[in-house]
C-alpha cells in the first residue's frame, strides 16, 4: 500500500500559500448566512434545497480574485460558505415541526431561539467531528467519484485562467429579485385559479406559480424528475381531491362551503396524509436501494476509526486533520450538550440519557452514510430527510417504550431527529468540500476549523429568517409553517409522525393507504416514489412551476441535440444554464425574505394594480423561459473550444 503512487494535488503539500485568512473567513461566513437563508426559503416552500458548493465557489472566487487572493483562500471561503446550506437543511426539516406539532406556539421566544441554536451547533459540530475521523479513507477512495467535489475543484482551476461564470450567476440573481419584487408590488398575479365543473363534480385548475425560484429548481433537476414531482400534483388535484370531495360533500348534498375552499380542505385533510404514507415508503425504499453502499460505508468508517486510534498521524500539510484528542473531546462535549437539550425537552434524566446514546450512534452511522452517498451521487441528491425519518421513528418507539407521553415525548423525539438531521447534512457537505480541498491542495484541519466557525455563525443566524418567514406569512393572512405559502413538507411529516406514534394522533387508515400507494409506485418501477409523494403534498402551483422549469431544460437539451453539439459545447450550455437557474433561485429567495420582513414589521407596500391580470404573468413566464434557453445555447461556443468543467445535477 505504501508503494502506491501518491496523489499530487493542484497546490503541492510543500507550497506555503495563504489559506485561512480573515478575508476568506469573512467572505465564507457571509456566504454561509446568505446561501443558508436562501435555501431555508426554498426548502420551506418547495421541500428541497440546492447544493451551495457550486454558487459558493463562483461567488468566493469572484470576490477573492478582486482582492488578488490565492486559490486556497477561494477553497477555504467556499468550504465555509457552503456549510450554511446544510445548517438550513437541518433547520427546515425539523425546527418548524415544533410549531406544527403544537409545541412551540408562538414559534419565537428567546428560549426557543436559544434551544434551536444549541441544536444546530451541537448537530453541526458533531457532524464535523465524525467527518474528521472518516476523511482520509473516504477522500482517497478511488471508487467514490465525488462528482460535485470534482466539478467545484475544476471551477477553481478554471478561474485561475479567467473562465469564471460569475456574471451569469449575479445577473440572474438581479433578474429573479426584480421579478419577485414586481410580483409583490402587484404588477402581475403570481397564479391563476379556476374551478372546472363536470356535472356535479368539480376540479380545481391552478396555473404554474410565477416563480423564478421554482422554475430554476425544475431546470436544475431536469425534465424527468420535474415530471415525477408534477405527477404527484396531478394525482392529488386531478384524482384524489375531486373524488373525495364529490363523495364527502357533493353527493351528500353538503353545499355549505365554497367549491375552491372545499377542494383545498379535502387536499389538506385527506390527500396530504395519504402523501405522507407514500413519503414513508419512498424513504424506506431509497434506503433499501442503497443498503450495499450503507453497509460498505459503515465498515470503512469503523476501519478508519481504528486507524486513528492507533496514532497513525502524518505531518504532511495536505493530510493533517484535527487531532484525535480534539475530535474525541468535541464528540464528548456535544454529547453532554445534547443530554442537557434532551433533558430540557423530556424532563427525564434516564430518557435524556437514552436519547443521547441513540443520537451519538445514529449520528455516527448517518454521518458515514451521508458522506459515502455524497461520494457517489453528490450532496444535491443526498436523502437527508429519509435518514432523519428513520431516526425519528426509532426515537419515537424508544420514547413510548420508556413511558414518555404527550408534549414532552413528542418534543424529545423531534430533538433527537433535529440533531441527527443537522449532523448528517453537515457531514455530507463537509466531506464534499474536503474532497474538493484534497484535489486542490487545501489543509484539512484548517477547513474543519473554518467549518466549525461557520456552523456556529450560521446556527446563530438561521432561526431569524425562519421566524421572519413564518411571522410574515401569518401577518399576510397565511398560516405560517404548514400552510400554503410555507408547507415545509419534511417538517410537517416529522410533526405528524412524532404526534402519531407518541400521542396516538395519527390518521392511520390514510397513512396506510398512502403506504400501499407507495408500494404500487415501486411495483410500477417509478424512479422516485418519494418525489411523487412530495408532489402530492405540495401546492399544485409549486409543482406546476417546477415542471415548467424541467420542460425548459428539456427544450435546451433538444436544441443541443439538434445542433449536434459535442461534449464540450454541451458542458458549456449545462454550466451557464445551471448558473442562471441558481441565480434566479437566490434572487427570489433574498427578495422573498426582504418582503417577509416588510410584512413582519407591517411596512405598507405599493400596489400597482388592485387586481393584477395573469396576461402579464404569462409574459413573465415566457421571459424566464427565453432567458433559460437563449443564453445557455448562445454560450455553447465553437466545437474546437476546450471543455469547461461540468456541473453535475
Residue 481: phi, psi to the nearest 5? -60, 135
In 3D space, the residue among 198, 159, 184 whose CA is nearest the CA of residue 69 turns out to be: 159
**b vs e for 614-626, b when ≥16 Cβ sit within 10 Å of the residue's Cβ?**
bebbeebbeebbe
Cα distances from 573 to residues 185, 404, 629, in angstroms, run: 34, 55, 9
pLDDT value for 382 = 56
pLDDT value for 181 = 94
Are 574 and 646 in contact, with CB atoms under 8 Å apart?
Answer: yes
Report cis status (omega within 30 of 0) of the bond before 81. Answer: no
Q: Partners of 201 in the beta sheet?
A: 198
First to last CA, the chain: 34
- Note the pLDDT tens digit of each residue in 524-541: 999 888 889 888 888 899
- Say which residue, 296 or 110, is predicted with more confidence: 110
In 3D space, the residue among 93, 189, 204, 234 whose CA is nearest the CA of residue 547 turns out to be: 234
CA gap 14, 590 in Å, rounded: 42
In 3D space, the residue among 187, 181, 179, 178 whose CA is nearest the CA of residue 610 turns out to be: 187
Considering the chain, what is the average pLDDT of its residues?
A: 84
Contacts of 255 (CB under 8 A, 6+ apart): 249
Q: Partners of 195 in the beta sheet?
A: 204
In 3D space, the residue among 96, 80, 97, 71 whose CA is nearest the CA of residue 17 turns out to be: 71
- Say which residue, 575 or 559, is predicted with more confidence: 559
Q: Is 49 helix (H, G, I), strand (E, B) or coil?
A: coil
Q: In the predicted model, is pLDDT for residue 627 greater than 90?
A: yes
- Show the DSSP H helices in 185-240 as ranges: 212-235
pLDDT value for 1 = 36
Averaged pLDDT, 156-162: 70
Lowest mean pLDDT among 99-103, 474-478, 600-604: 600-604
- Note the pLDDT tens digit of each residue in 203-217: 999 999 999 988 988
The alpha-carbon radius of gyration of the chain (Å, integer) is 24
pLDDT value for 280 = 76
Are 57 and 108 in contact, with CB atoms under 8 Å apart?
Answer: no
Confidence of residue 578 (pLDDT cuts 50, 70, 90): confident
Site of grid cell 486507524 = 307
User: How many H helices and E strands in the chain?
Assistant: 22, 2
In 3D space, the residue among 28, 67, 134, 12 whose CA is nearest the CA of residue 440 turns out to be: 12
In 3D space, the residue among 582, 579, 536, 569 whose CA is nearest the CA of residue 642 turns out to be: 569
Q: How many Cα atoms occupy the beta-carbon half-sphere of 478 within 13 Å?
A: 19
CA gap 619, 606 in Å, rounded: 21
- Note the pLDDT tens digit of each residue in 105-133: 889 899 999 999 999 999 999 999 988 87
Q: How many Cα atoms occupy the beta-carbon half-sphere of 136 within 13 Å?
A: 19
Lowest mean pLDDT among 85-94, 321-330, 499-508: 499-508
pLDDT value for 441 = 92
pLDDT value for 556 = 97
CA gap 80, 448 in Å, rounded: 9
In 3D space, the residue among 420, 431, 412 whose CA is nearest the CA of residue 390 turns out to be: 420
pLDDT value for 411 = 87
CA gap 230, 546 in Å, rounded: 8
Contacts of 629 (CB under 8 A, 6+ apart): 552, 555, 556, 559
CA gap 439, 318 in Å, rounded: 10
DSSP readout, 344-395?
HHH--HHHHHHHHHHHHHHHHHHHHHHHHHHHHH-GGG--HHHHHHHHHHHH
- Take residue 614 and report the three cell numbers written for it: 395573469
- Note the pLDDT tens digit of each residue in 435-455: 989 989 999 999 999 999 999
* Cβ neighbours of 296 (radius 10 Å): 14
Confidence of residue 493 (pLDDT cuts 50, 70, 90): confident
Are 169 and 59 in contact, with CB atoms under 8 Å apart?
Answer: yes
* Cβ neighbours of 195 (radius 10 Å): 13
Contacts of 532 (CB under 8 A, 6+ apart): 228, 229, 231, 232, 235, 278, 282, 521, 526
Averaged pLDDT, 83-92: 88
pLDDT value for 648 = 43
Contacts of 614 (CB under 8 A, 6+ apart): 188, 189, 191, 192, 207
Q: In the predicted model, is pLDDT for residue 78 greater than 70?
A: yes
Averaged pLDDT, 471-483: 87
CA gap 372, 423 in Å, rounded: 14
pLDDT value for 308 = 57
Confidence of residue 613 (pLDDT cuts 50, 70, 90): confident
In 3D space, the residue among 124, 576, 93 whose CA is nearest the CA of residue 331 turns out to be: 124
Averaged pLDDT, 312-330: 79
- Say which residue, 166 or 302, is predicted with more confidence: 166
Q: In the predicted model, is pLDDT for residue 480 greater than 50?
A: yes
- Note the pLDDT tens digit of each residue in 595-612: 877 766 778 888 888 889
Contacts of 62 (CB under 8 A, 6+ apart): 164, 166, 170
Averaged pLDDT, 138-151: 71
pLDDT value for 309 = 60
CA gap 435, 350 in Å, rounded: 40
Q: In the predicted model, is pLDDT for residue 632 greater than 90?
A: yes
CA gap 374, 582 in Å, rounded: 20
Percent of the chain with pLDDT over 90: 33
Amino acid at each position: 500500500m505504501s508503494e502506491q503512487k501518491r496523489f499530487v494535488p493542484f497546490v503541492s503539500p510543500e507550497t506555503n500559500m495563504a489559506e485561512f485568512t480573515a478575508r476568506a473567513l469573512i467572505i465564507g461566513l457571509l456566504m454561509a448566512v446568505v446561501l443558508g437563508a436562501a435555501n431555508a426559503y426554498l426548502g420551506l416552500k418547495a421541500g428541497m434545497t440546492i447544493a451551495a458548493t457550486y454558487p459558493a465557489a463562483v461567488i468566493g472566487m469572484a470576490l477573492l480574485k478582486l482582492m488578488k487572493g490565492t486559490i486556497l483562500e477561494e477553497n477555504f471561503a467556499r468550504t465555509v460558505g457552503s456549510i450554511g446550506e446544510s445548517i438550513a437543511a437541518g433547520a427546515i426539516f425539523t425546527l418548524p415541526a415544533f410549531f406544527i406539532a403544537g409545541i412551540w406556539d408562538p414559534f419565537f421566544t428567546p428560549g426557543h431561539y436559544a434551544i434551536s441554536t444549541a441544536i444546530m451547533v451541537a448537530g453541526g459540530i458533531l457532524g464535523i467531528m465524525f467527518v474528521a475521523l472518516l476523511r482520509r479513507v473516504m477522500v482517497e477512495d478511488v471508487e467514490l467519484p465525488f462528482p460535485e467535489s470534482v466539478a467545484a475543484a475544476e471551477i477553481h482551476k478554471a478561474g485561475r485562467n479567467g473562465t469564471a461564470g460569475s456574471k451569469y450567476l449575479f445577473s440572474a440573481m438581479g433578474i429573479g429579485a426584480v421579478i419577485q419584487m414586481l410580483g409583490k408590488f402587484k404588477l402581475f398575479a403570481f397564479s391563476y385559479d379556476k374551478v372546472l365543473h363536470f356535472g356535479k363534480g368539480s376540479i380545481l385548475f391552478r396555473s404554474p406559480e410565477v416563480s423564478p425560484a421554482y422554475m430554476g429548481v425544475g431546470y436544475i433537476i431536469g425534465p424527468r424528475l420535474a415530471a415525477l414531482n408534477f405527477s404527484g400534483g396531478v394525482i392529488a388535484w386531478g384524482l384524489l381531491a375531486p373524488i373525495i370531495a364529490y363523495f364527502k360533500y357533493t353527493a351528500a348534498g353538503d353545499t355549505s362551503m365554497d367549491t375552491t375552499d372545499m377542494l383545498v380542505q379535502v387536499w389538506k385533510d385527506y390527500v396530504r396524509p395519504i402523501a405522507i404514507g407514500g413519503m414513508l415508503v419512498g424513504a424506506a425504499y431509497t434506503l433499501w436501494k442503497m443498503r450495499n453502499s450503507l453497509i460498505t460505508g459503515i465498515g470503512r468508517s469503523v476501519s478508519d476509526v481504528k486507524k486513528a486510534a492507533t496514532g497513525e498521524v502524518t505531518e504532511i500539510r495536505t493530510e493533517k486533520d484535527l487531532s484525535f484528542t480534539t475530535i474525541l473531546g468535541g464528540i464528548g462535549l456535544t454529547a453532554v450538550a445534547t443530554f442537557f437539550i434532551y433533558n430540557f425537552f423530556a424532563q427525564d434524566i434516564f430518557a435524556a440519557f437514552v436519547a443521547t446514546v441513540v443520537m451519538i450512534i445514529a449520528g455516527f452511522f448517518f454521518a458515514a452514510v451521508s458522506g459515502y452517498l455524497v461520494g457517489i451521487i453528490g450532496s444535491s441528491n443526498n436523502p437527508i430527510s429519509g435518514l432523519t425519518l428513520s431516526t425519528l421513528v426509532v426515537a419515537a418507539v424508544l420514547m413510548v417504550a420508556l413511558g414518555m407521553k404527550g408534549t414532552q415525548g413528542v418534543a424529545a423525539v423531534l430533538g433527537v431527529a433535529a440533531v441527527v438531521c443537522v449532523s448528517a447534512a453537515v457531514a455530507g457537505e463537509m466531506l464534499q468540500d474536503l474532497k474538493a480541498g484534497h484535489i486542490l491542495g487545501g489543509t484539512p484541519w484548517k477547513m474543519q476549523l473554518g467549518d466549525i466557525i461557520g456552523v456556529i455563525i450560521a446556527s446563530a443566524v438561521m432561526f431569524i429568517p425562519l421566524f421572519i418567514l413564518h411571522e410574515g406569512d401569518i401577518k399576510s393572512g397565511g398560516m405560517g409553517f404548514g400552510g400554503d405559502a410555507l408547507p415545509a413538507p419534511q417538517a410537517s411529516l416529522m410533526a405528524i409522525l412524532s404526534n402519531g406514534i407518541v400521542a396516538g394522533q395519527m390518521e392511520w387508515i390514510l397513512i396506510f393507504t398512502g403506504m400501499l400507494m407507495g408500494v404500487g409506485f415501486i411495483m410500477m418501477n417509478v424512479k422516485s416514489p418519494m418525489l411523487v409523494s412530495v408532489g402530492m403534498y405540495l401546492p399544485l402551483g409549486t409543482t406546476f412551476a417546477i415542471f415548467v422549469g424541467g420542460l425548459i431544460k428539456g427544450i435546451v437539451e433538444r436544441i443541443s441535440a439538434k445542433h449536434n453539439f459535442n461534449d464540450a459545447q454541451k458542458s458549456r450550455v449545462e454550466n451557464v444554464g445551471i448558473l442562471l437557474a441558481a441565480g434566479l433561485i437566490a434572487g427570489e429567495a433574498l427578495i422573498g425574505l426582504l418582503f417577509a420582513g416588510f410584512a413582519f414589521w407591517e411596512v405598507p407596500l405599493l400596489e400597482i394594480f388592485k387586481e393584477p391580470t395573469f396576461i402579464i404573468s404569462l409574459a413573465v413566464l415566457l421571459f424566464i423561459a427565453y432567458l433559460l434557453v437563449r443564453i445557455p445555447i448562445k454560450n455553447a461556443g465553437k466545437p474546437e473550444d476546450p471543455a469547461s468543467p461540468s456541473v453535475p445535477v
